[in-house]
Amino acid sequence: MHVDTGTQGQAGEEWLADPGVRRVQRRTVRLLVAAQVAGSVGMGAGPSVGVLLAERVAGSEAWAGIARTSTTAGAALLALPLAALAVRSGRGVALGTGWAVAAAGAALLVLAATTGSVVLLVLGMLAMGAGAAAQLQSRFAATDFAPGPHRARALSVVVWSSTFGAVLGPNLGAPGTRVEALLGLPPLAGAFVIGALGLAVAAVLAALLRPPPPALRPPRPVPAAGAPPRPGTAAALRIAWAVPAARAGLVALVSAHAAMVGLMTMTPVHLDHYGATVTVVGLVISVHVLGMFAFAPVVGSLADRFGRTPTALAGLAVLGAAGAVAVLAGSGTGGVAVALLLLGLGWSFVTVPAAAVVSESVPAGVRTTVQGLADMLMNLVAALAAALSGPLLALVGFPGLGVGVLLLTLPAAVLLARARP
């Protein structure tokens, strides 16, 4: 597939085929995968153990809600600073900093559990958002030195590696109790001790990232006399929005993420209302998470072979199917499980190719900034979707949330279809 790639395009990428650059790319992906596994295990305690800790420490549903949304808010707030750090100092410094801040956040949550401090709880959850921002930035980092025909596959491998943390992280409660007994910590603190270690390992691994040596890279163009400085954030967004493919990719990323978060967040509450056990709720969410991450390499291969836009459009169709099943599921656990599986799968089929489109469609000088903008927008809209999903569930029920998923897919589908060559 050919897309409008601004000033970048596929021209001038011959250097990416150099054997030395390809070795650096393979090493980069290996380090990113290892960091993603360690970091996602550390982050995985948040949605499960973190929710319980928030309720125990906060003592009120209002504060617990603030604490639970702090990680998403932190990811949105830190996406652009980490992208700016990547521009100035390189991906290794930016990702290492993100994972290190998240490790400090996990340590603050241990202190919050020990002292019962709501302030430390919110600050810890907020700092954990840096890990979520690093997770998202890692998938873009995988494309930095990948040739165009293999870019989506490289990105998808890093997304796929999150499967391990998504499965193992929520189950840190049991080994955490052993840590609590060993260190004399209060309940729920042990999971975040393990999480902090995993996040610290991710920070060290990310700090080992190195770009190809200057001799293997094309020389940077020398700015003309009187040329304007590197575009800022607002200018980078204007540049991306002016490119139809980049605009469609940004809208697809934000829409798919909002649809996924809006429906997934209230699924446990909906199932609980109809008497589902905690085990059943956990299984449904696990099926959803597997749909999100487990098939990412397949999605990347399809995007490289058949094109980014057709793959993303197929993902939007799957998201629409998830919304339709949610409308029809009612109180049936089986129907809800199918809807959540399709929701995760559709999210994967949209976000992998759409992220590749965003990376490929903008000039190199603003690419990292635009990637940070994409991550920030995804998390801001996700936080809004999560906040609105509760009142909407009470007002229109689970079928109403399914209609919301259907509506969110339409603008992205129209823009992607129009952006096709």
pLDDT of residue 62: 63
Q: Is there a single domain that holds both residue 243 and residue 108?
A: no
| Of residues 193, 163, 215, the one with CA closest to residue 37 | 163
On whether the CB atoms of residues 104 and 201 are closer than 8 A, the answer is no
Assess if residue 244 is contained within a domain: yes
Q: Is there a single domain that holds both residue 361 and residue 273?
A: yes
Q: Is there a single domain that holds both residue 208 and residue 254?
A: no
Assess if residue 87 is contained within a domain: yes
pLDDT of residue 10: 44
Assess if residue 245 is contained within a domain: yes
Q: Distances in Å between the alpha carbon of 266 and those of 6, 172, 253, 326?
A: 40, 23, 21, 12
Q: Is there a single domain that holds both residue 3 and residue 60?
A: no
In tens, the pLDDT along 10-54 reads 446 778 888 888 899 999 999 999 999 999 888 877 766 776 787
Assess if residue 228 is contained within a domain: no
pLDDT of residue 112: 93
pLDDT of residue 166: 73
Handedness of CA 362, 367, 371, 373 (dihedral sign): negative
Q: Report the predicted TM-score, pTM, of the whole model to 2 decimal places.
A: 0.83
On whether the CB atoms of residues 226 and 233 are closer than 8 A, the answer is no
Q: Is there a single domain that holds both residue 370 and residue 308?
A: yes
Range of the structural domain that residue 393 is part of: 1-10+234-421
Indicate which CATH number applies to the domain containing 324.
1.20.1250.20
List per-block mean pLDDT (blocks of 10 residues) for the chain, which spans 421 residues: 36 76 92 94 75 76 69 90 92 96 96 92 93 92 85 90 76 83 92 93 96 77 56 87 93 95 84 76 82 92 92 96 92 88 96 92 89 93 85 89 94 87 48
Distance spanning both ends of the chain, measured CA to CA:
8
Q: Is there a single domain that holds both residue 198 and residue 267?
A: no
Q: Distances in Å between the alpha carbon of 209 and those of 35, 204, 226?
A: 10, 10, 34
